[in-house]
């Protein structure tokens, strides 16, 4: 079997290469991927709740802004948004720095790659999170909001005591989906030079000529990350809805 | 001056639209074929088929498409038997075919789950009624299960198609000069990324909005039973029988 011996030849060097330092590099890659994902999710949560509020607003202008945000950032290729923030950020920064004279007229001020990537992925994540929050808000029982109003609660109090706890509970499954999506989107910011898992695998593949090995390892590591987060979100779902489970 | 630049960029990117659509179309077509096979395997009731589809869906939904693309384009060519194969090598050495293969394999995982859900959502009463009529399994599938399931799968399927449009942009990282690749090249030549990417962005957005519009129309056409009855005007309202 030519195939089997071939496979064996490919993987016999796997251990050596991973032990020679690439394994540690890949672990660092995971750490960066998780950092990118967490920061993006946080940016997305802030933007997402604002956009959801705008979409639910009775005012036409705000509603339009919210609708456009979710349409544009869910309708554009992720790669394009990432390039826009990374290269576009460089264009803006360079323009500003040149006009203030802090760099020479031929110098370039680069967008920090982590910042550019995280902003782009965060904004995309925000568009999806906005839809999740909007859906959860609409799922809150109208009677509860009316009851809160009847008690004479102020808008802020209603928001803090009635809306937020319930939106968070109802949003957990949807946020789990966005989290998976954001992990996978984070692989795209390897194009800007953030040393996350994808870029590390890329470097390893190019410098050792073992692309099959390193891309397979990267794929498995992404699978581990996405599958580890599933039970965590399930647990969070059980925890947040513990007062709503049926008695046995 | 600025307007001319926008216009010429728009035109250059638009010239790459056919290539984007080609990747899109073949990715979706082959993806649909694979997804049909997977759904059939899953629904066939064989344990082995179920395990296979579960593993397939797990792998292709759990890892980024970029990893899958690199694995197919760079990874598989490491095998000697791939490079010496008269069938595999012409496919796997070509970045265009590799992108289509990666997209098809990836979307098939998502689509097979959509189809599985749709099949399970077909009301049992409809199937029981078909059985009561004495329909054979094939007739039942052709006349009852399939049409209902397709209608149920349509909204999720349209989302998947739009995700595919976005995924075609990844072809640019394996040197294909489709819309994204062309935009990248213009951007590198002119150092005006914001303007160039905005042009490309407008085209992608219009493309996706039209796809969404088409699917919304198909959905509307396929759901006359969900529409409110047309309002009847005063004049043609039928005369009550008691008169």
A79 lies in some domain: yes
The predicted pLDDT at position A78 comes to: 95
Cα distances (angstroms) measured from residue A154 to each of A87, A163, A168, B220: 45, 12, 20, 42
User: A219–B192: do the CB atoms touch at under 8 Å?
Assistant: no
A216 lies in some domain: yes
A6 lies in some domain: no
Full-model pTM: 0.88
A88 lies in some domain: yes
B-chain residues near A198 (CB < 8 A): 64, 66-67
The predicted pLDDT at position B115 comes to: 95
User: A84–B63: do the CB atoms touch at under 8 Å?
Assistant: no
The predicted pLDDT at position B82 comes to: 81
The predicted pLDDT at position B50 comes to: 92
CA B155, CA B218: separation in Å to the nearest integer?
A: 10
Residues A2-40 have pLDDT tens digits of: 677 766 776 677 777 777 788 889 999 999 999 999 999
Span A56-74, average pLDDT: 94
Cβ atoms within 10 Å of A194's Cβ, excluding its own:
23
Question: Is-contact A183 A226, C-beta < 8 A?
Answer: yes
Mind listing the pLDDT tens digit of every residue in chain B (243 residues)? 688 899 999 999 999 999 999 999 999 999 999 999 999 999 888 999 999 999 999 999 999 999 999 999 998 888 778 888 888 888 888 999 999 999 999 999 999 999 999 999 999 999 999 999 999 999 999 999 999 999 999 999 999 999 999 999 999 999 999 999 999 999 999 989 999 999 999 999 999 999 999 999 999 998 888 787 776 555 666 666 665
CA distance B30 to chain A (A): 21
The full 3-state SS of A110-178, as one line of letters, equals: CCCHHHHHHHHHHHHHHHHHHHHHHHHHHHCCHHHHHHHHHCCCCHHHHHHHHHHHHHHHHHHHHHHHH
Question: Is-contact A76 A159, C-beta < 8 A?
Answer: no
Number of domains observed in the structure of chain A: 1
User: A215–B71: do the CB atoms touch at under 8 Å?
Assistant: yes
The predicted pLDDT at position A17 comes to: 76
The predicted pLDDT at position B113 comes to: 95
Question: Is-contact A17 A208, C-beta < 8 A?
Answer: yes
- Give the helix/strand (H/E) hosting B181: helix B179-190
Q: Residue for token digits 């399994």?
A: B137
The domain that holds A187 is classified in CATH as 1.10.3720.10
CA distance A22 to chain B (A): 17
The predicted pLDDT at position A92 comes to: 92
Collapsing DSSP to helix, strand or coil, B130 comes out as helix
Across the interface, of A72, A80, A218, the residue whose CB is closest to B197 is A80
CA A129, CA A137: separation in Å to the nearest integer?
A: 12
Residues of chain A whose C-beta is under 8 A from some C-beta in B? 2-3, 6-7, 10, 71-72, 75-80, 83-84, 87-88, 90-92, 180, 183-185, 187-188, 190-191, 198, 201-202, 205, 210-212, 215-216, 218-219, 222-223, 226-227
A-chain residues near B202 (CB < 8 A): none
Residue A239 buriedness (CB in 10 A; 0-12 / 13-18 / 19+): exposed
A-chain residues near B204 (CB < 8 A): 75-77, 80
A226 lies in some domain: yes
User: A212–B71: do the CB atoms touch at under 8 Å?
Assistant: yes
Q: Which long-range contacts (CB under 8 A, 24 or more apart) does B183-192 make?
A: B183/A80, B183/A83, B183/B9, B183/B13, B184/A83, B186/B9, B186/B12, B186/B13, B187/A83, B187/A87, B190/B5, B191/A91, B192/A91, B192/B5
User: A215–B180: do the CB atoms touch at under 8 Å?
Assistant: no
A248 lies in some domain: no
pLDDT band at residue A75 under the 50/70/90 scheme: very high
The predicted pLDDT at position B39 comes to: 94
B159 in contact with chain A, both atoms CB, cutoff 8 A: no
B-chain residues near A76 (CB < 8 A): 166, 201, 204-205
- Cβ neighbors of B169 (< 8 A, separation 6 or more) are A77, A78, A79, A80, B178, B179, B180, B204
Question: Mean pLDDT for chain A?
Answer: 90
Q: Which domains does chain B have, with CATH numbers?
A: 1-16+177-223 (no CATH), 22-171 (1.10.3720.10)
A2 lies in some domain: no
Cα distances (angstroms) measured from residue B39 to each of A164, A189, B105: 40, 33, 14
Scanning B160-179 for CB atoms below 8 A from A yields: 162, 165-170, 172-173
Q: Sign of torsion, CA B124 B126 B129 B135? A: negative
B32 in contact with chain A, both atoms CB, cutoff 8 A: no
List the structure tokens of A130: 């906005």
User: A77–B165: do the CB atoms touch at under 8 Å?
Assistant: yes
User: A184–B63: do the CB atoms touch at under 8 Å?
Assistant: yes
Across the interface, of A6, A76, A188, the residue whose CB is closest to B66 is A188
Question: Is-contact B145 B119, C-beta < 8 A?
Answer: yes
CA B79, CA A223: separation in Å to the nearest integer?
A: 23
Residues A47-58 have pLDDT tens digits of: 999 999 999 999
List the structure tokens of A15: 């251990």
The domain in which residue A114 lies consists of 24-240
Q: Which long-range contacts (CB under 8 A, 24 or more apart) does B30-34 make?
A: B30/B100, B30/B101, B30/B104, B31/B103, B31/B104, B31/B105, B31/B106, B31/B107, B31/B108, B31/B111, B31/B164, B32/B108, B32/B111, B33/B104, B34/B104, B34/B105, B34/B108, B34/B112
Residues A149-206 have pLDDT tens digits of: 999 999 999 999 999 988 988 999 999 999 999 999 999 999 888 989 999 999 999 8
A15 lies in some domain: no
User: B68–A219: do the CB atoms touch at under 8 Å?
Assistant: yes
């Amino acid at each position: 079997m030519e195939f089997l011996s071939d496979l064996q030849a490919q993987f016999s060097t796997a251990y050596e290469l991973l032990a020679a330092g690439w394994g540690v590099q890949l672990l660092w890659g995971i750490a960066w991927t998780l950092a990118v994902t967490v920061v993006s999710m946080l940016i997305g949560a802030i933007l997402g709740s604002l956009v959801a509020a705008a979409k639910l607003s009775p005012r036409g202008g705000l509603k339009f802004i919210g609708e456009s945000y979710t349409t544009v950032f869910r309708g554009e290729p992720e790669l394009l948004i990432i390039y826009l923030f990374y290269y576009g950020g460089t264009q803006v920064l360079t323009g500003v720095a040149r006009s203030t004279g802090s760099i020479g007229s031929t110098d370039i001020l680069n967008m920090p790659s982590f910042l550019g990537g995280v902003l782009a992925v965060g904004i995309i994540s925000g568009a999806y999170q906005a839809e999740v929050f909007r859906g959860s808000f609409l799922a809150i029982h109208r009677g509860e909001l009316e009851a809160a109003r009847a008690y004479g609660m102020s808008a802020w109090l209603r928001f803090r005591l009635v809306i937020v706890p319930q939106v968070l509970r109802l949003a957990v499954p949807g946020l789990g989906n966005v989290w998976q999506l954001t992990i996978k989107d984070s692989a795209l910011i390897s194009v800007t030079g953030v040393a996350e898992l994808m870029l590390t695998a890329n470097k390893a593949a190019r410098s050792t000529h073992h692309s099959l090995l390193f891309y397979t390892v990267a794929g498995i590591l992404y699978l581990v990350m996405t599958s580890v987060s599933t039970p965590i979100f399930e647990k969070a779902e059980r925890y947040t809805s513990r007062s709503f489970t049926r008695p046995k | 001056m600025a307007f001319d630049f926008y216009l010429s960029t728009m035109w250059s990117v638009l010239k790459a639209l056919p290539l984007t659509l080609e990747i899109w179309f073949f990715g979706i077509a082959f993806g649909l074929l694979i997804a049909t096979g997977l759904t059939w395997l899953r629904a066939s009731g064989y344990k082995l088929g179920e395990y296979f589809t579960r593993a397939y869906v797990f792998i292709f939904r759990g890892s980024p498409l970029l990893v899958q693309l690199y694995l197919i384009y760079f990874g598989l060519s490491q095998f000697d038997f791939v490079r010496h194969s008269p069938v595999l090598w012409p496919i796997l050495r070509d970045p265009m075919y590799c992108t289509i293969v990666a997209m098809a394999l990836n979307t098939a995982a998502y689509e097979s789950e959509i189809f599985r859900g749709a099949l399970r959502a077909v009301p049992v009463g409809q199937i029981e009624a078909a059985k009561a009529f004495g329909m054979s399994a094939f007739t039942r599938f052709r006349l009852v299960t399939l049409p209902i399931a397709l209608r149920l799968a349509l909204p999720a399927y349209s989302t998947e198609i739009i995700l595919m449009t976005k995924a075609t942009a990844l072809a640019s990282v394996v040197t294909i000069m489709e819309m994204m690749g062309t935009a990248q090249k213009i951007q590198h030549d002119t150092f005006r990324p914001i303007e160039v990417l905005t042009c490309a962005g407008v085209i992608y957005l219009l493309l996706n909005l039209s796809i969404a519009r088409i699917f919304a129309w198909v959905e509307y056409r396929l759901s006359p039973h969900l529409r409110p009855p047309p309002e009847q005007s005063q004049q043609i309202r039928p005369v009550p029988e008691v008169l």
